[in-house]
């Protein structure tokens, strides 16, 4: 391990303690702030380790991105079980269960790296993906911890900011711990350290106070799901999160392979680009509450779509490290704006007694489309190349612009009425 890891982890603890002492947000928010980035390290680690290790031990190069793609598919498959489990046994116990599954997955992936077993690596990443469905529910746990719904933007901003620490910890552990355990192609130690991070996260989550929804439980009967999902506001919220995640995952999955396998850039360059991308995903959260106050959700969504358009222009302009860096940084910022919009817009579509089923349907849609994008990324990259892979995103970006215009018209009509 190196000093960067120690410094980053220490800074995370200090930030959580300072926030708890000086903020009007409850203790739960800061415990989630502390635990979430430890769990979120799984995603950047699989992006780096899964893709690069997969390229060495997969039966064919086209299957190199399968560990990441099936991790995301595991997330999609875990969304409904995670939501229902939390409904039945509570957010805290449900999260501990999910994190325990991740420990098993990380240890299996470590064993797979030692013995160069591709299909066992797949099993480990699927279990890690299943846990990510529980991690995704943490943002709803934060909302359930608030007494005043007006604090929702601030709480989501704080929670997403914690992703900055995952951006530093995940890739750093992936590279610095790669040879901690002897294995033919490295990365066994990376997955082993990941299992330790999940164990620490379980200890932190066990300190959470009981959670209640911010709003009073509705005395109205729960509406049929088909009625809820036909609402324009639900469709716009789902589109903002799903399209944002789909394009981000599609390009992010392919970029390390394109850099390392096609353009022969070293692992440190790849790590820097991925690390910068993940930082860009969460850094805007430091100012998102202020942005929302001044420009609103509609403009934030539109800016996200514009940034994705710029990603296309940059990515096809060249293949230097800086072209990859700028494309991935802009991709991260655009994702932040779209995902924040979708998260904050979703509660407008349901009553409090409908929240678990609507959250489950939303997250299933988000992660299922993300999985499809990741599954296709490797095949398209190896068969068509980087530029064609980028061009394919254009129709989805146009759809995002259409959803932004629809959202604007709905808000304009509600303000006039």
3-209+224-412 fold: Growth Hormone; Chain: A; (1.20.1250)
CB 133 within 8 A of CB 362: no
Q: How far apart are CA 221 and CA 202, in angstroms?
A: 36
Q: How far apart are CA 306 and CA 320, in angstroms?
A: 23
Residue 95 has a pLDDT of 95
From first to last of the 417 residues of the chain, give the pLDDT tens digit: 566 667 777 878 887 777 777 777 888 999 999 999 999 999 888 877 877 788 788 888 767 778 877 888 898 889 889 988 998 998 899 999 999 999 999 999 999 999 999 999 999 999 999 999 999 889 888 888 887 777 778 888 888 888 888 878 887 888 888 888 988 888 899 999 999 999 999 999 999 988 765 444 555 567 888 899 999 999 999 999 999 999 998 998 889 888 987 888 887 888 889 888 988 988 888 787 778 888 888 899 999 999 999 999 999 999 999 999 999 999 999 999 999 999 889 988 988 888 888 988 998 898 888 888 887 888 898 889 999 999 999 999 999 999 999 999 988 887 755
Residue 216 has a pLDDT of 47
Q: How far apart are CA 157 and CA 283, in angstroms?
A: 10
């Amino acid at each position: 391990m190196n000093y960067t890891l120690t410094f980053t982890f220490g800074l995370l603890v200090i930030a959580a303690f300072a926030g708890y002492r000086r903020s009007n947000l409850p203790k739960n928010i800061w415990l989630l702030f502390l635990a979430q980035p430890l769990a979120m390290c799984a995603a950047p680690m699989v992006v780096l380790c899964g893709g690069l290790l997969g390229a060495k031990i997969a039966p064919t190069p086209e299957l190199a991105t399968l560990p990441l793609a099936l991790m995301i598919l595991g997330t999609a498959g875990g969304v409904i079980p995670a939501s229902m489990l939390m409904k039945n046994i509570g957010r805290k116990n449900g999260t501990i269960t999910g994190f325990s599954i991740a420990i098993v997955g990380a240890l299996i992936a470590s064993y797979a790296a030692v013995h160069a077993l591709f299909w066992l690596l797949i099993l480990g990443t699927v279990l890690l993906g299943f846990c990510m469905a529980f991690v995704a529910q943490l943002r709803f746990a934060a909302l359930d911890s608030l007494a005043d719904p007006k604090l929702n933007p601030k709480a989501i901003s704080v929670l997403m900011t914690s992703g900055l620490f995952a951006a530093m910890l995940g890739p750093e552990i992936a590279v610095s711990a790669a040879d901690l355990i002897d294995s033919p192609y490295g990365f066994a130690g990376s997955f082993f350290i990941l299992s330790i991070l999940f164990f620490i996260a379980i200890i932190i989550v066990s300190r959470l106070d009981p959670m209640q929804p911010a709003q009073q439980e509705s005395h109205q009967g729960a509406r049929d799901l088909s009625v809820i999902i036909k609402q324009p506001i639900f469709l716009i919220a789902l589109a903002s999160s799903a399209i944002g995640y789909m394009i981000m995952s599609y390009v992010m999955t392919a970029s390390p392979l394109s850099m390392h396998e096609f353009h022969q850039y070293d692992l440190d360059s790849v790590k820097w680009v991925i690390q910068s991308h993940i930082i860009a995903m969460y850094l805007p959260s430091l100012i998102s509450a202020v942005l929302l106050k001044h420009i609103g959700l509609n403009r934030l969504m539109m800016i996200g779509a514009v940034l994705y358009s710029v990603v296309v222009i940059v990515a096809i302009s060249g293949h230097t490290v800086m072209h990859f860096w700028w494309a991935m940084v802009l991709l991260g910022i655009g994702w932040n704006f779209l995902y924040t919009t979708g998260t904050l817009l979703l509660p407008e579509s349901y009553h409090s007694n409908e929240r678990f089923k609507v959250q489950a349907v939303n997250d299933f849609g988000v992660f299922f489309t993300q999985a499809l994008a990741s599954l296709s990324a490797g095949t398209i990259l190896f068969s068509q190349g980087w530029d064609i892979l980028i061009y394919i995103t254009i129709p989805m970006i146009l759809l995002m612009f259409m959803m932004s215009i629809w959202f604007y018209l709905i808000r304009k009509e509600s303000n006039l009425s």
